[in-house]
Structure 1
Amino acid sequence: MHSINMNALWFSIPLILAETYSYFGALLFMFGLWRPIVRQSEPVIPNRTVDIYITCYDEPIDIIKQTIEMGKNITYPNEIYVCDDGHRQEIRDLSLQHEVHYLSRPDNLHAKAGNLNYAYNHSQGEFILILDADFVVLPHILDDILGYFRDERVAFVQTPQTFYNIPRNDPFGNDASFFYGPIQQGKDGLNASFSCGAGSIFRRKSLETLAEKRLEKQPNANTRYLEPFETESITEDMYTSLALHSLGWKSAYHSQPCGFALSPNDLGTVYKQRFRWGAGTLQVLFRGKFFSRNLTFGQRISYLSTMYYYLIGIPAIIYLVAPLAFLFLNKTPIVTDATEFALYFIPYYSLNFLMFYVIASGYRWWRGFQNSIALFPIFIASLIHVIIRKRLTFKVTSKETLSGNYLYLVLPQILLGLSLLAGIIVGFIKITYWGYYWQTPAILVNIFWAFYNISLLFNIIKASFWQPTFYENDNAFQILFYSFLQRAAKDPTLVQSLKQRRFVK
């Protein structure tokens, strides 16, 4: 603390807080990966009843049709329910045509959570597999997963969400293979793997105990209509998982791909999705559910790690603007010379970077890291919305690429990038024309920092006007991939090859 620049506390204190955030974030990250579990499928439980919920709202009918058809290829006996919150006659007709159940509730209260609760009250299966409208599954998904429920305390099992339409270079940072690999496996080791919605299967009895527990707190509620899926957050999947864990139930994570989905391929949809994730997760954080006395220490820390990530917006903006304070105003956060600063900072940063690189080796993690910093406006907005308790509504992620120019969405990043570029120019002018020779090392350090920050911002700016090529076009890719899956449904060797690879690395 003796090195803090007392003459620039407006700069020093925010940067120290940002560094403190990063330090504890690194500790949480390492703790979460300490003892991962890589599970292998257990023998399937025969003669159980399974309901499959396909939730939909306004998705294209062709996408829903593909999901229904792949669901009907599932080898384990099941009942399929199309849960239509769009109340569309064409979806009713589609369900009738494919001989599956059609459900449409009288209102859209509580969005997806309400849709799932309505389906729960209109079905009877011992297990419930949840699919989004675009989530096409492999035929042996239930054979691979049901065996985990031999343990009577397992409430749910989550499978990876593998996206099959991620463009080359992944401009939107949609590749989630690192999250659905080491991170979820690490959480599984702490009995804290959580449901991510699509691709998760629940034990009805566990949901029943959760709903009954809620009824105890609402004595005047309708006891005939149970609401096991949490409606207090727009991320109902994570909230429901936390509630089940707090009741002593266990979870399991099956890391082999069992289904494939569409990722958003335009910046407007990406913004909506990330905002929903951030705001929904922070809702859970500020309601303090992870302090439940029934959670283990490991579970509490694991959930906190996920929630903590979505506070990144404010530290990110501090890191991004920090070099400008020196390049323009000649202010430093600490009183030291560049050499001493480098001796402390470079080893610390390099070791952190090396740790992450080793852990994430083989995964495409850099784009996701870039966007975690560059999407600071979204994370700050989600934090503000939750703090002021502004009502949040669930917005369905579009399953189609929406054409258009989204430069207006990245105006903060553009302005910040131009400011950093101007700072770099000023830095070079200071060295070459204004005689700041004695500050050359410090100026060069901040110029490098500014260049690095520009590299973090550049991709999201470029992504704002990205357009798919023919081979990256959603429709073309869906047709090819769906044809392949239909063939895989009839060829066990193809299914095995799909289960053994990570599609995107």
Structure 2
Amino acid sequence: MPEPYFQKFAQRSPPRFPAMSQRRTLAWHFMAGLTIGVGAWYLQWRWLQSLNPDALFFSVAVVSAETLLFLGTLLFYFDIWAEQDTPQKPPPLTRDDAHLDGPGPIGVDLYITTYDEDPEVLIPTIAAAQQVMCPPNVSPQIYLLDDGNRPHIAALAHRSGICYLARSSNEGFKAGNLRNALMQTAGDFIVICDADTRLEPTFLQHTLGYFRNPKVAWVQTPHWFYDIPEGQAWESWLKTRLGQMAQPILPTLATSLQWLTGRDRVGADPFLSEPTVFFDIIQRRRNRNGASFCCGAGSVHRREAIFAAALKRKSAAVDKAQGHPPGPASPIWINSIPLQPFRFHVSEDIYTSILLQEDREEGWTSVYHPKVEARMLSPWTMEAWATQRLKYAGGTFDIMLRDNPLFRRGLPWRHKLHYGATFWSYLTTLWLPVLLLAPVISLVTGIAPVEAYSAEFFLHFLPVIFLSEIAMVLACKGYAIQPGRALALSTLPIQLRALWLVLQGKRPRFPPTPKTPVFGQGHHHILPNLCLMFAMAGAGIYGTVQTLRGAESHDMALLITNLFWLVWNMAAVGRIALAASWSPDTAPSPAPTEETTNVHDFSLYR
């Protein structure tokens, strides 16, 4: 049996995420304030003095999109305003320390969920779970939850000496699988692992201490994809293909390609999977308000909180079905409505988080633990990437349109703003295409969305861009932010498809992200990106020819300004298209140092 592809990455060490210094925080706050002020000044000028009267509809559409993006910036700034980690405490030594009733040790159930993953994926996951160090007076039990009900996986569990649980149906997808296990186990705390989640030995030692606070419902740890390809330096990549004869020009060629592509290495993180900014910036800073949400794998939950919230939801559903105010319900009605400890949904993790956080009576809160305590596999194929992104977008749109937490009375207003930032980031799907296509329209028609590309325009526009870039670099601790912007544009077709499916009333399904790469499939997912790139290229060529011919509708200022944005947009849209031709051969994997593993991108929400 060949060695699994991810085995060669096993020696990688997880990155460290130090806390943000007070000096950097002050600099970030100062630049954020400047950006907000200059941005408001720019928009005031755009609305009142820069609209093109000869193309008013086009001009208003563009400035409206700019305004909506500015509102998203305000939400995002609130989202990541300050870092405030929860003080880490030692694991509870007794049940009283963890605010648990009854005698005996503290029970911890480690759930490994699986559906169709191969044994080669599950074997290291099981081995890692068995190597987790157990604090004193803690009794762990490992369960393999097989929603595929496969005999060979049952045999694997038996050989590994762990418990095996399966069910005859797939009701509720992953949430239903978890419910099935919760009904058959009794651990005080539940650790959730996906099929590829390899826990670090320190997982329980570093997370259980937070539950000394009786109101902590769950603890979420960062996701770290240890198999993300690091790629090759451009010069090395060119040398392999051009040979020694091209040695004199290799440095120049490498520098040129680095500048043109905006990428330091070829083949590095082809699917823009690195989640560091999401976890170390967004989730970590939501922690100041107890508003970080559960992301499934790598989390540990208090059983009492899960069931208390589920019973309340069931009681409310029974009351609603009976058509009377909340109160005692008949056993018949109670039995007819299923209990959902984790809400049956494609995004059961964030959905259940919202339902717990809105319970003001119980006052449940969450903790984000900033240290990596688990490693996972990233998408290695176009099919896996598209499946994951469609699931994320579809689940978020479904919650937003059908059960929006912003309208829930119990959810604190700060939490609503945090979730509002999440939803707004997905809603940019509606107005981002306006800005994406604006250069195409201008180059084809010769019509500008502003009255003129004058010195006054650049005097207002450039300070906004300059200050916002500095603010983002400071806010994101210097992590790379361009890949995340590329991801936002590259995923537009998928997000639009997800929104359309939800608007049609189709419930998002829960297809597991493929863990075993099969190359050469899924290329149809990038066809919209390729069509868009061809349209952009055609517009650029047409606009250039018209300007050089001296067409009355085109001038050099319009050409240069729109070509700049067109090339940037094409590079962003095409970034994921390049991944379709990526193969592991372009991504050798030397064991990196902590410094080289800490390569990040600005991934958007979930």
Same fold (TM over 0.5): yes
Q: Is the 8 A contact 1:164 1:503 kept in 2?
A: no
Identify the residue that residue 207 of structure 2 maps to in structure 1.
Answer: 145
Query: 1:25 offset after TM fit, Å?
Result: 1.1
Structure 2 residue aligned with 1:246: 358
2:155 is the counterpart of 1:93 = yes
**Residue type of the alignment partner of 2:529:** Q
Alignment of 1:103-118 (within 5 A): 103-118=165-180
Q: Report what 1:285 is aligned to.
A: 400
Change (3 A) 1:438 1:228: closer
Name the CA distance, whole Å, in 1 between partners of 2:541 and 2:521: 29
**Percentage of matched positions with identical amino acids:** 32
Q: Secondary structure at the match of 1:221?
A: helix
From 467, 471, 481, the counterpart of 1:355: 471
User: Would the aligned equivalents of 2:227 and 2:377 in 1 still touch at CA under 8 Å?
Assistant: yes
Shift of 1:82: 0.7
Larger RCO: 1 or 2 (CA < 8 Å, sep 6+):
2
Q: RMSD in angstroms over aligned alpha carbons?
A: 2.3
Task: Report how far residue 406 of structure 1 moved.
Answer: 4.3
The answer (yes or no) to whether the contact 1:211–1:228 under 8 Å persists in 2 is: yes
Q: Which amino acid aligns with 2:188?
A: E
Provide Cα deviations, 1:317-350, integer angstroms capped at 9, x if missing partner: 2222111111111222232343222222221122
1:450 maps to what in 2? 566
Q: Secondary structure at the match of 2:450?
A: coil
Which among 372, 382, 386 is matched to residue 257 of structure 1?
Answer: 372
Residue 289 of structure 1 and its aligned partner are, at CA, apart by 2.2
Residue 275, structure 1, aligned to residue 333, structure 2: no
Structure 1 letter corresponding to 2:444: F
State the match for 1:487 in structure 2.
none
Structure 1 residue identity aligned to 2:88: S
Q: What do the CA deviations read for 1:27-49 (whole angstroms, capped 9, x no partner)? A: 11110111222345311112411
Decide whether the 8 Å contact of 1:314 with 1:376 is kept in 2: no
Aligned: 1:193 with 2:292: yes
Please name the residue that 2:255 is paired with.
Answer: none
Which among 433, 437, 448 is matched to residue 317 of structure 1? 433
Give the superposition deviation at 1:451.
1.2
Q: Relative to structure 1, is the Cα distance of residues 322 and 437 closer, same or farther in structure 2, using a 3 angstrom cutoff?
A: closer
Q: Supply the distance in 2 between the matched residues of 1:471 and 1:60 (Cα, whole angstroms).
A: 23
Q: Which runs of 5+ in 2 are unaligned?
A: 1-46, 94-104, 231-267, 319-332, 601-606
Kept in 1: contact 2:447–2:553 (CA 8 A): no
Amino acid at match of 1:96: H
Q: Which runs of 5+ in 1 are unaligned?
A: 485-496
The worse-fitting range, judged by mean Cα deviation, of 448-457 and 358-367 is: 358-367
| Residues 223 and 124 of structure 1: CA distance in aligned 2, closer, same or farther (over 3 Å) | farther
2:39 counterpart residue number: none
Instruction: Kindly provide the amino acid, as one letter, of the partner of residue 271 in structure 1.
Output: A
Task: Between 95-104 and 327-336, report the one with greater CA deviation.
Answer: 327-336
Does 2:295 match 1:202? no
SS for the counterpart of 2:276 is coil
8 Å contact kept, 1:121–1:226: no
Q: Secondary structure at the match of 2:106?
A: coil
CA contact (8 A) 2:228 2:269 kept: yes
Q: Look up the match of 1:403.
A: 519
What pairs with 1:330-479 in structure 2 (closer than 5 Å)?
A: 330-404=446-520, 406-434=522-550, 439-469=555-585
SS at the partner of 1:41? coil
Q: 1:271 to 1:79 in 2, by over 3 A?
A: same
Distance in 2, Cα, partners of 1:121 & 1:12 = 59
Asked if the contact 1:4/1:333 (under 8 Å) is kept, the reply is yes
CA deviations over 1:81-129 (Å, ceiling 9, x no partner):
1110011001111111122111101210110111111111111111000
For 2:272, the aligned partner's letter is G
Change in Cα spacing, 1:34 to 1:374, as seen in structure 2 (3 Å) is: same
Aligned to 2:253: none
62, 76, 85: which one aligns with 1:29? 76
Q: Distance in 2 between matches of 1:153 and 1:361?
A: 31
Q: What residue is the counterpart of 1:294 in the other structure?
A: 410
Indicate the SS of the match to 1:218. Answer: helix
Residue 369 to residue 115, structure 1, CA distance change in 2 (3 Å): same
- The equivalent of 2:28 in structure 1 is none
Amino acid of the residue matched to residue 56 of structure 1? Answer: T
Please state how far the C-alpha of 1:471 moved relative to its aligned partner. Answer: 5.7
Q: Displacement, 1:23?
A: 0.6
Distance 1:297 1:99 in 2: 47
Which of 1 and 2 has greater Rg?
A: 2
Aligned partners of 1:471 and 1:92: how far apart in 2? 35
2:111 is the alignment partner of 1:53? yes
Q: Tell me the CA shift for residue 306 of structure 1.
A: 1.2
- 2:398–2:507 CA contact under 8 A, matched in 1: no
Q: Is the 8 A contact 1:242 1:290 kept in 2?
A: no
Instruction: Summarize deviations over 1:236-295 as a string: whole Å, max 9, x none.
Output: 000001111001311000010001000001112111111110110111112222322222
**Distance in 1 between the 2:581 and 2:335 partners?**
50
Amino acid at match of 2:129: G
Residues 56-67 of structure 1: matches in 2 within 5 Å? 56-67=114-125
Return the letter of the residue paired with 1:239: Y
User: CA separation in 1, counterparts of 2:220 and 2:197?
Assistant: 14
Q: Which residue of 2 aligns with 1:180?
A: 279
Q: 1:199 to 1:262 in 2, by over 3 A?
A: same
How far did 1:425 drift?
2.1
Distance 1:128 1:405 in 2: 36
